[in-house]
A and B are shown apart, each in its own frame.
Chain A
């Protein structure tokens, strides 16, 4: 566990600038809370909030898709894996680091959202339930993008993650198909995307469990593949 924590904290530290950029959404939301009449502009503020959450999920994919590639390209991975660190621990450290960043961001968005959206009548309990869904979607994105990054470059890993997460969304939007729940990222984020100051869709509990199970499955697949990869060869 200590190795995983060390790698996770190290990842977070190395990615501190993109995380700081991401945090500007929290800042923007806070400024809106101070300068806008929240009762009149509640839907606009909710729209900004949704955008912020969306960017958080996108950043999670970018972090995951590029983490291994960057470490291999800079050859820093060699010094880390020359220590008493297993490949599984390394992958787990990366995913934990990404989730650490996602958790801090989601928490900051949740706190700011409770204040800003709460002032316009949005129920705080429902908001935190939605943030839990966002966290699970981030976990799903992180483990899937890290899985693809074990054998694809960041561009293709991002695309592959987008396809696996996006196809169910297309199925849901175009055909209202049950296939949308196969990889339930969209199904989990849908209640937030469709939320308005007037109505809130409920979150389906089984989807949370399914997302968690799939994230663990992708996680295990990622380190099974990474265990068998040559990491010291040129990545380009």
Chain B
């Protein structure tokens, strides 16, 4: 099966004024997004995430390389009719929410009753059905949700979201998260760029991390989160002083050891007359991985990971 979204060795340079050196936003960037997955697209500010998305949407042209979206070259207007897009800091025309969603739906070839019904459905899905007649200019933070509604109005096969929940309250965030999961279960694909790593952890099947225009990490979320290097041991009947950096709570001692020392640590617990409650591989957070791949090592205590 053809990938739904494909970047093939793409580079993008922004020319500066009066011939000074161009800014490299993306460098030999290749990526494939498959059908039916929620794909997380991560990286620090200026990593090139938005540039990649804008290239896919045809808002700009790559300096080198090429890509395809739904089997068509980037920028193909017909392919965009099957795509939903929400820009970071979305800006929309100031008019009632339902009218606005219908305008964008009409631009995607929907008409008549189908358009009317679909506009109502998506406003309900994003929790704005009660405010359908309210002008979006009067929404404090609802613009993002109307933006999501306009992205969903054509029932897209591929939904591209650039920071969709950054301006939302926790309740709205939960709603959007369950909406994304329901979109995936309907066989659709979501390409999600976000700084909210905890959210990405919760919903994304695969993630790619970008740093300074280069792809630095790509893989299944579950596999990336397993460190494979450390194990957390929980034991009873020993004291925390027996192991370095062990923590004792309610008679239960927790500590982390490298995988190579796991056997030795378990034998030591038994030698001390203790009982092993559990042995689990340490799960890292995407935040930690992100900091690692961008070359910024966090303080362990700040992350609350490890022993």
| Residue ranges of A at the interface with B (Cβ–Cβ < 8 Å) | 2-3, 6-7, 10, 13-14, 74-76, 78-86, 89, 228, 230-233
B39 at the interface (CB under 8 A from A): no
Which residues of A are found within 8 Å of B60, using beta-carbon distances?
Answer: 230-233
Size of the chain B interface, CB-CB below 8 angstroms: 31
- Asked if A6 meets B91 with Cβ closer than 8 Å, knowing A85-B77, A228-B61, A233-B60, the reply is no
Please, how many angstroms separate the alpha-carbon atoms of A231 and B57 in the complex? 11
B89 at the interface (CB under 8 A from A): yes
Which residues of B are found within 8 Å of A75, using beta-carbon distances?
Answer: 87, 89-91
Q: Is the CB of B77 within 8 A of A76?
A: no
Q: Nearest 4 pairs between A and B by C-beta?
A: A84-B81, A230-B60, A83-B107, A82-B85
- Asked if A82 meets B106 with Cβ closer than 8 Å, knowing A76-B92, A230-B59, A232-B59, the reply is no
Q: Is the CB of B80 within 8 A of A83?
A: yes
15 other A-B residue contacts (CB within 8 Å) besides A83-B80, A233-B14 = A2-B106, A7-B107, A10-B93, A74-B91, A76-B92, A78-B85, A79-B147, A79-B150, A82-B80, A82-B85, A83-B107, A84-B77, A85-B80, A228-B61, A232-B59
Q: Is the CB of B77 within 8 A of A79?
A: no
B103 at the interface (CB under 8 A from A): yes
Please, how many angstroms separate the alpha-carbon atoms of A230 and B85 in the complex? 17
- Asked if A79 meets B59 with Cβ closer than 8 Å, knowing A6-B107, A84-B78, A85-B107, the reply is no
| Contact bitstring B43-76, A, C-beta under 8 A = 1, else 0 | 0000000100010011111000000000000000
Which residues of B are found within 8 Å of A231, using beta-carbon distances?
Answer: 59-60
B108 at the interface (CB under 8 A from A): yes
B191 at the interface (CB under 8 A from A): no
Shortest distance from the beta carbon of A152 to any chain B beta carbon, whole Å: 14
| Residue ranges of B at the interface with A (Cβ–Cβ < 8 Å) | 14, 50, 54, 57-61, 77-78, 80-81, 83, 85, 87, 89-93, 95, 103-104, 106-109, 147, 150-151, 154
Question: In this complex, what residue of B is CB-closest to A86?
Answer: B77
Shortest distance from the beta carbon of B214 to any chain A beta carbon, whole Å: 20
Shortest distance from the beta carbon of A133 to any chain B beta carbon, whole Å: 34
Please, how many angstroms separate the alpha-carbon atoms of A192 and B150 in the complex? 47
- Asked if A83 meets B104 with Cβ closer than 8 Å, knowing A10-B93, A75-B91, A76-B91, the reply is yes
Which residues of B are found within 8 Å of A74, using beta-carbon distances?
Answer: 91
- 9 example contacts (A-B, Cβ-Cβ < 8 A) are as follows A13-B95, A14-B93, A78-B87, A79-B147, A82-B151, A84-B77, A232-B54, A232-B59, A233-B14
Shortest distance from the beta carbon of A72 to any chain B beta carbon, whole Å: 10
Q: Is the CB of B80 within 8 A of A79?
A: no
Q: Is the CB of B80 within 8 A of A84?
A: yes
Q: Is the CB of A84 within 8 A of B87?
A: no
Please, how many angstroms separate the alpha-carbon atoms of A231 and B60 in the complex? 6
Indicate which residue in A3, A13, A14, A228 contacts B107 across the interface (CB closer than 8 Å).
Answer: A3
Please, how many angstroms separate the alpha-carbon atoms of A166 and B87 in the complex? 41
Question: In this complex, what residue of B is CB-closest to A2?
Answer: B106
Q: Is the CB of B92 within 8 A of A79?
A: yes
Which residues of B are found within 8 Å of A84, using beta-carbon distances?
Answer: 77-78, 80-81, 107-109
Please, how many angstroms separate the alpha-carbon atoms of A204 and B116 in the complex? 50
